[in-house]
Amino acid sequence: MPVQLAAAENPLASESHQTSAGTIYLDNLATSAVDPRVLEAMLPFFSERFGNAASKTHSYGLVAAEALETARAQVARLVGAPSPQEVVFTSGATEANNLAIKGVIEFQGTRPCHVVTCVTEHRAVLDCCRSLEKKGVRFTYLPVDAYGRIDPDQLRDAIGEQTILISIMAANNEIGTVQPLATIGQIAKEKEVLWHCDAAQAAGKIPLDVDDLGIDLLSISAHKMYGPKGQGALFARRKHPRVRMAPQLEGGGQERGLRSGTVNVPGAVGLGKACEICATEMAAGEAERVRAMRDRLYHGLLAGMVTEVTLNGHVEHRLPGCLNVSLHDLDGAALIIALRDIALSSGAACTSGASEPSHVLRAIGRDDTLAFGSLRFGVGRFNTECEMDLAARRVVAEANRL
Ligand SMILES: *Cc1c(COP(=O)(O)O)cnc(C)c1O
């Protein structure tokens, strides 16, 4: 790695870091480590290639601008976007979701609008919906089945005269369930309604092609796919149909006026590289390898656990790295505290620490005790089989003891 410092001058080599170094990281759905190849691609853009991509009157700016366009093409390629010009860099999937949903609706002006979304969406979508609801926009929140999937017939029935937009995620961040994407796309096309898809968890993990699936707007996040935090992108279709949005950040007019502010060049370069690597690794069987590790972990849990284990999410239509289980009559939070040497989460990371049971587990019909007894494991690129066996043994031992 190009940035290794001697231990004496490395501020990370402190005692607290030593502790985390011995911890097995199984929280890849909350965030993932930056791939060393991504870091290496980013580094020159902090130092010698520091130019502002909008300053095209000199070589510094031109070098940055060129790197940005390479990154845009890498993002476009991963999701099958017809043109790199359809990719807008943002600070993450939260901002991409805000731009997509608020941008599309605000562009409609005073016209009465209706949006169809789903009860298990990420907070970044649901909170946008709540704020637009206060401004008079009507929403339908589709329920999900016991595995977390919407019913396409209910989606079709929910669409009316005033429906402008569908916002349904690709894969859920808590239980990993993948929605019936191709069917949603067909319905959106048939009804001539735009479809925004939050793909923060799915991008780079399962094949996603915006043309094949009929997606008009797609949000992604770099830090869920081995890129840097604080970086994301929104794909917004420019033809058939052309998506029009009101910008949510105004200023210098960067990103074709859709997202003002000097673009984070190292971040965008990192996202681009992360997309390229995910595409390559996916073709090389990464998903199968990750899925096999996840299933090994699951079978390890089932084999030793005294209490009953319930799988949350779909058996088949699920992210390869996601394992969410409810342990009967156990407090997930207490178990996680006991399992200090394993980094995992109970429910969503953004709500962990809060005492509210997860809205996703509730939506799939888990009662409060099962929701509180849930553990979410996120297996990723840098995990090993050996870690699965060790983690399963540790979880079983602590759960059986509690
Ligand atoms: C993580 C996540 C987000 C938020 O992404 P940020 O880049 O952290 O803003 C949105 N939606 C889903 C499904 C996520 O998993």
Among 230, 188, 238, residue whose Cα is nearest residue 213: 188
Ligand 1 atom 14, closest CA = 200
| DSSP three-state, residue 273 | helix
Q: pLDDT (tens digit, 9 = 90+) per residue, 63-98?
A: 999 999 999 999 999 999 999 999 999 999 999 999
Ligand 1 atom 12, closest CA = 200
Distance between CA atoms of residues 249 and 37, nearest Å: 31
CA distances from 209 to 83, 138, 185, 315 (A): 13, 29, 11, 23
* pLDDT over 70 percentage in the chain: 93
Distance between CA atoms of residues 61 and 51, nearest Å: 5
What DSSP assignment string belongs to 205-223?
Answer: TS---HHHHT-SEEEEEGG
Ligand 1 atom 7, closest CA = 92
CA 237 to chain centre: 20
Q: Which CATH class is domain 11-30+285-401?
A: alpha beta
Tokens of 246: 């009101």
Q: pLDDT (tens digit, 9 = 90+) per residue, 301-315?
A: 999 999 999 999 999
Pocket of ligand 1 (CB under 6 A): 92-94, 122, 124, 169, 173, 198, 200-201, 221, 224, 232
Domain spans, the chain: 11-30+285-401, 40-281
Q: Is 197 a catalytic residue?
A: no
Q: pLDDT (tens digit, 9 = 90+) per residue, 19-64?
A: 466 899 999 999 999 999 999 999 999 999 999 999 999 999 999 9
User: Which atom of ligand 1 is least distant from the CA of 222?
Assistant: 7
Q: Enter the pTM of the model.
A: 0.94
CA of 199 to the centre of ligand 1 (A): 8
Tokens of 8: 């004496």
Q: Which CATH class is domain 40-281?
A: alpha beta
Residue 260 burial by Cβ neighbours in a 10 Å radius (0-12, 13-18, 19+): middle
User: Which atom of ligand 1 is least distant from the CA of 29?
Assistant: 15
Q: pLDDT (tens digit, 9 = 90+) per residue, 241-286?
A: 999 999 999 999 999 999 999 999 999 999 999 999 999 999 999 9
Among 134, 80, 127, residue whose Cα is nearest residue 101: 127
Residue 321 burial by Cβ neighbours in a 10 Å radius (0-12, 13-18, 19+): buried
Other C-beta atoms closer than 10 Å to the C-beta of 365 total: 12
Torsion from C-alpha of 101, 103, 109, 110, nearest 10 degrees: 30
User: Which atom of ligand 1 is least distant from the CA of 229?
Assistant: 7
Q: What are the helix (H) ranges across 148-231?
A: 152-158, 181-191, 210-213
- At 172, give phi and psi (nearest 5°): -75, 145
Among 231, 218, 221, residue whose Cα is nearest residue 45: 231
Catalytic residue selected from 197, 322, 350, 386: 350
